[in-house]
Amino acid sequence: MGKNLVHKIIEAHLVSGEMKPGKEISIKIDQTLTQDATGTLACLQFEAIGLPEVETELSVSYVDHNTLQTGFENADDHRFLQSFASKYGVHFSKPGNGICHQVHLERFGKPGGTLLGSDSHTPTGGGIGMLAIGAGGIDVAAAMAGKPFFLTMPQILNIELKGKRPPWVSAKDIILEILRRLTVKGGVGKIIEYSGSGIDDLNVPERATITNMGAELGATTSLFPSDNITHRFLNAQQRSEDWACLKADSNAKYDESIEIDLSLIEPMAAKPHSPDAVDKIKNIGPIKVDQVAIGSCTNASYTDLMRVAQILKNKKVCSSVDLVISPGSRQVNEMLARNGALGDMISAGARILENTCGPCIGMGQAPPSNGVSVRTFNRNFKGRCGTSNAGVYLTGPETAAVTALTGVLTDPREIGDFIQVDLPESFIIDDSMIIPPAREKKDIEIIRGPNIKPLPRSKDMSEKIKGKIALKTGDNITTDDIMPAGAKILPLRSNIPAMAEYVFRDTDPGFVQRVKEYQGGFIVGGHNYGQGSSREHAALAPMYLGIKCVIAKSFARIHRANLINFGIIPLEFICHEDYEKIDMGDQLMIQDIREEIHSGKIAITNNTKSHNFTVKHGLSKRHIEILLRGGLLNYIRMEKVGDRLL
């Protein structure tokens, strides 16, 4: 039996373990990326490991999240990140150079390589055939230190794309259709590999749109083969030497396969408040729209914005609509400026934002109260946009542009003939805003602003865990719910004591005060607890507040790993009736946890209700050792011999 592409890449990077679904493996990481919302902690964690420089082939530090400088905090952190990068051998992408995933795809990603990023949308790199995985910052710090990345070997889901898209159907519509079919839990424990004749209808930025939003499926990552289309893209980026032809064998085996006929897909939208609440735009109807936002790491490529510009050319945005556009990179922005497309968008009435994440992470451009915002982004979780009662619809850029003109959600097929936009034969290449590390590093001073506080440290696991349930949640709790983002909170990302005051602020405003009164305790959750962003603050801040254990029906992959990394025990209900029998405020106790954790099941006593129940954990031997030592950083530091790692 032949090999699929995922197995080929993993096999070439395998450090330990068997490539069997459910088994723990570790792989060598070639490249890492961090961004400023998660990268500051990753840098502090790398410093704590104690190595003189990074040991990857390439590591890049991007500034793309927190560029809104309303105080000193963001600017100070950017200065810290640049000085850290220079000293430790990391490339630094300055504010304004672009969104990490877009720039990395353009300038650094390599087919067949491995990329670990402290951002959940790192799988964007799968658009060029890279095994690109999102993880918590401390996992990325470990990879920067030359440590392999550990994960449970996923199942491989093959999605075979057949046929050709009808006019006005975008790559965004394809991934929205997949989300409609599979839901936000459909990719958990899986890597998605795309194949079929339909991939020939997708250029690299379009493929990257699809792999980017594989994160919303809960997938470990997604990827396309590296073919002639990939070669043309890399050649246009003057990186043809990085290209390699990579594809699955003709008789490759997969754990699961589905087929999608592209000719049957129509323009789609994800309705509030979930990326899988998908329907055809014609079924949703012409709802009135207050705001349209085009951009993000999902849909801010050259071809995306060129088609938007063509739609807007010689027209005016509806007077009741606020249109904002954020190009994905400086390269894209400059090309639009030089060919006149930027002028067409400005003339139509668009507001041009920085080449950053911006409104996608709630960093400005919040919609009005009870407003409707149509966005080309990847997430529409309630309140993520900055307005708790707004309704956010996710669409492709063509739908968004047409909607901006009409003032109501509009199927782009209504405006007439399709506008064809091709990738240029050559992109403008100017890497002057990517600062290479210093050659002489010993005299470089790391610049730390007053908002950068020391890392909180967790302690070794206690013999017994006893505490009250500080919060009980439902299904699909996101990391945005746990640790909100936005312009007010994100500047505190390197100050955990300050940031911890906002844990579960929007879900339960009384949580922080209650958990302080309880002196820590437990959190109980439903299915898919911790979906969404890779932000490890959603584990680190609860740890700082004293949370020792989270018991849920199931966990999202990255958040579960982050809990383990910071010494919080993730446990799963065996019998979901036990979830129903416990309430917030109940006192739970786990006796002899250090002994019991070595088995697959743990007994818990509800002292309040005199009820005993059993949970499972599915932890590997390595996970158990990390938890016993109070977290990954303690675990890594204990592996040191002299000034080197084992």
| pLDDT, average across residues 58-72 | 91
CA distances to 271, 575, 577, 590, 603 from 614, in Å: 38, 8, 11, 10, 5
Same domain, 329 and 225: no
Gap between the Cα atoms of 28 and 10, Å rounded: 9
Specify if 431 maps to a domain: no
Gap between the Cα atoms of 567 and 562, Å rounded: 9
Give the pLDDT of residue 644. 46
DSSP 288-316: B-SEEEEETTTS-SHHHHHHHHHHHTT--
Of 454, 455, 607, nearest to 522 (Cα)?
607
| pLDDT, average across residues 164-174 | 97
Give the pLDDT of residue 45. 92
pLDDT band, residue 141 (cuts 50/70/90): very high
pLDDT at 612 over 60: yes
Question: Order of strands across the sheet with 14-16?
Answer: 14-16, 24-27, 149-152
Same domain, 279 and 255: no
523 with 511: CB under 8 angstroms?
no
Specify if 422 maps to a domain: no
Q: Which domain holds residue 190?
A: 5-264
pLDDT band, residue 280 (cuts 50/70/90): very high
Q: Which residue has the higher pLDDT, 450 or 523?
A: 523
Of 196, 375, 207, nearest to 291 (Cα)?
375
Of 372, 383, 369, 380, nearest to 485 (Cα)?
383
Specify if 314 maps to a domain: yes
DSSP state of 246: B
Specify if 534 maps to a domain: yes
Same domain, 245 and 345: no
Give the pLDDT of residue 454. 85
CA within 13 Å, CB half, 92: 22
Question: pLDDT tens-digit profile of 375-418?
Answer: 999 999 998 998 999 999 999 999 999 999 999 999 999 999 99
Gap between the Cα atoms of 90 and 19, Å rounded: 31
**Structural domain ending residue among the three candidates 415, 439, 456:** 415
Of 164, 281, 157, 264, nearest to 217 (Cα)?
157
Same domain, 480 and 363: no
| pLDDT, average across residues 147-158 | 97
Identify the weakest region by mean pLDDT among 162-176, 194-208, 399-413, 486-500: 486-500
Give the pLDDT of residue 645. 41
Question: pLDDT tens-digit profile of 520-540?
Answer: 999 999 999 999 888 899 999
Q: What is the CATH number of the domain that holds 62?
A: 3.30.499.10
Same domain, 399 and 503: no
| pLDDT, average across residues 453-460 | 84
What residue ranges in 163-285 does DSSP mark as E strands?
Answer: 190-195, 221-223, 256-261, 268-270, 278-280
Question: pLDDT tens-digit profile of 248-265?
Answer: 999 999 999 999 999 999
Specify if 337 maps to a domain: yes
Gap between the Cα atoms of 30 and 14, Å rounded: 12
Of 175, 270, 132, 216, nearest to 479 (Cα)?
216
| pLDDT, average across residues 278-294 | 97
Q: Is the preceding peptide bond at 273 cis, omega within 30 degrees of 0? A: yes
What is the CA 187 to chain-centroid distance, rounded? 14
Give the pLDDT of residue 533. 86
Domain count, the chain: 3
Instruction: Return the bridge partners of 471, or none.
Output: 523
| pLDDT, average across residues 482-488 | 86
Same domain, 230 and 319: no
Same domain, 396 and 278: yes
Specify if 397 maps to a domain: yes
pLDDT band, residue 489 (cuts 50/70/90): confident
CA distances to 39, 75, 174 from 450, in Å: 17, 11, 46
Same domain, 231 and 273: no
CB neighbour class for 244 (10 Å; exposed up to 12, middle 13-18, buried from 19): middle
| pLDDT, average across residues 277-299 | 97
566 with 543: CB under 8 angstroms?
yes
| pLDDT, average across residues 167-189 | 97
Q: What is the CATH number of the domain that holds 614?
A: 3.20.19.10
CA distances to 438, 512, 515, 563, 566 from 587, in Å: 54, 17, 13, 21, 23
Helices assigned H by DSSP within 500-607: 511-518, 537-545, 557-565, 576-580, 593-596
**Structural domain ending residue among the three candidates 198, 231, 264:** 264
Same domain, 216 and 274: no
610 dihedral zone (left: phi>0; alpha: psi -120 to 50; beta): left
Specify if 453 maps to a domain: no
Same domain, 259 and 236: yes
**Residue 158, token pair as written in the block:** 């093959």
DSSP 365-396: -PPPTT-EEEE-SS---TTTTS-TT-EEEE--
Same domain, 396 and 409: yes
137 with 118: CB under 8 angstroms?
yes
pLDDT band, residue 494 (cuts 50/70/90): confident
pLDDT band, residue 604 (cuts 50/70/90): very high
φ and ψ at residue 528, rounded to 5 degrees: 60, 40
**Structural domain ending residue among the three candidates 208, 232, 264:** 264
Question: pLDDT tens-digit profile of 327-362?
Answer: 999 999 999 999 999 999 999 999 999 999 989 988
Same domain, 362 and 470: no
Gap between the Cα atoms of 465 and 365, Å rounded: 44
Which amino acid, residue 301? S
Specify if 350 maps to a domain: yes
530 with 555: CB under 8 angstroms?
yes
DSSP state of 459: P
Give the count of beta carbons closer than 10 Å to the beta carbon of residue 583: 12
**Hey, CA dihedral for 467, 473, 477, 479, is it positive or negative?**
negative
Gap between the Cα atoms of 262 and 199, Å rounded: 10
Gap between the Cα atoms of 167 and 420, Å rounded: 9
Give the pLDDT of residue 641. 41
pLDDT at 638 over 80: no
**Residue 462, token pair as written in the block:** 């206690």
Give the pLDDT of residue 637. 79
Gap between the Cα atoms of 632 and 547, Å rounded: 17
pLDDT at 646 over 50: no
Give the pLDDT of residue 642. 42
User: What is the rounded (10 degree) CA torsion for 632, 526, 557, 506?
Assistant: -80
14 with 2: CB under 8 angstroms?
no
520 with 467: CB under 8 angstroms?
yes
